[in-house]
Amino acid sequence: MNRIAAIRHRLATEGPPRTIGHDFETVTLPARDCDLVRDLLVAEGARSVVEIGLAFGSSALAVAEALAGGSGSRHVIIDPFQQPAFDNIGRDLLLEAGAAFDLVESPSSVALPQLLGTSVDATFVDGSHRFHEVFVDFYYLRKIVRPGGLVIVDDDWAPSVRTAVRYYERNLGWTALPDAFVGGTLRHLDDDPAAESVPRCRALRLPDSPFEPRFEDFVPFQVGG
């Protein structure tokens, strides 16, 4: 096991090195979903990733594992609350693992416009879960992730996230990879025990040829009631 994998394994089995005001199990991406994110990025040959939401660093370590080895990788992580809310736990674990990354401590709505003009292979989105902020993240990521690249999103069970994702699927040609999270964690839609269980993560491929739809072609995208 390499150093990044070893530190991710330690985090998953022993928990974070210090206690803070956030519950690890509730906040962090489960280990098996982290494995699937890593495997998907490796299968894609991704060398550059923009990640939103560092927190405890489980997903960031999985992304770092995928990017390790070889040269020319880039891992940009955006999170305005890493120090004040997470006491730099995710950052410190990445440093201990020897991972290469750039941490931008701004809200994604501020950081992503500054990345316009760069191109990355994939993104992992697990930041603000408010509809308007996820929607804006995708607005910019659509211009930052290369044509044919991957958008991976956590918490597709949450109506706010799911509704934002569905706009891009139904109107902008993002195509779900239905098998990407087979074997991953399932969650009830809207955390309602009576509702359908769905994979918590969803992977989508951007169209090879980006396009702007005519406003007359708008497809309603609201999910649920």
Ligand X SMILES: C[S@@+](CC[C@H](N)C(=O)[O-])C[C@H]1O[C@@H](n2cnc3c(N)ncnc32)[C@H](O)[C@@H]1O
Minimum CB distance to ligand X, residue 118 (Å) = 17
Is 59 near ligand X (CB under 6 A)? yes
Which range binds ligand X by CB under 6 A, 42-50, 69-77, 121-129, 156-164?
Answer: 121-129
Give the Cα separation of 136 and 108 in Å (integer): 9
Binding track, positions 10-49, relative to ligand X; x by CB under 6 A? -----------------xxx--------------------
Minimum CB distance to ligand X, residue 154 (Å) = 6
> Contacting ligand X (CB under 6 A), which of 12, 55, 67, 94?
55
> Contacting ligand X (CB under 6 A), which of 44, 108, 138, 205?
108
> Contacting ligand X (CB under 6 A), which of 44, 65, 121, 126?
126
Minimum CB distance to ligand X, residue 185 (Å) = 12
Residue 76 has what DSSP assignment?
E
> Contacting ligand X (CB under 6 A), which of 48, 58, 73, 123?
58
Q: How far is CA 151 from CA 26, 57, 176, 198, in A?
A: 23, 19, 9, 18
Give the Cα separation of 163 and 147 in Å (integer): 22
> Contacting ligand X (CB under 6 A), which of 66, 73, 75, 107?
107
Give the Cα separation of 152 and 174 in Å (integer): 11
For the chain, strand residue ranges (E) read: 48-52, 74-78, 102-104, 120-125, 145-153, 175-176, 186-188, 197-199, 202-205
Q: Classify strands 120-125 and 175-176 as parallel, antiparallel or unpaired.
A: unpaired
Terminal Cα-to-Cα distance of the chain (whole angstroms): 46
For residue 161 the two structure tokens come to 């996230």
CA atoms within 13 A of residue 220's CA, in its CB half-sphere: 4
The residue (of 29 and 206) whose beta carbon lies closer to ligand X is 29
Applying the rule CB under 6 A, the residues between 85 and 104 that interact with ligand X are 85-86
Residues engaged in binding ligand X (CB under 6 A)? 27-29, 52-59, 78-81, 85-86, 107-108, 126-128, 133
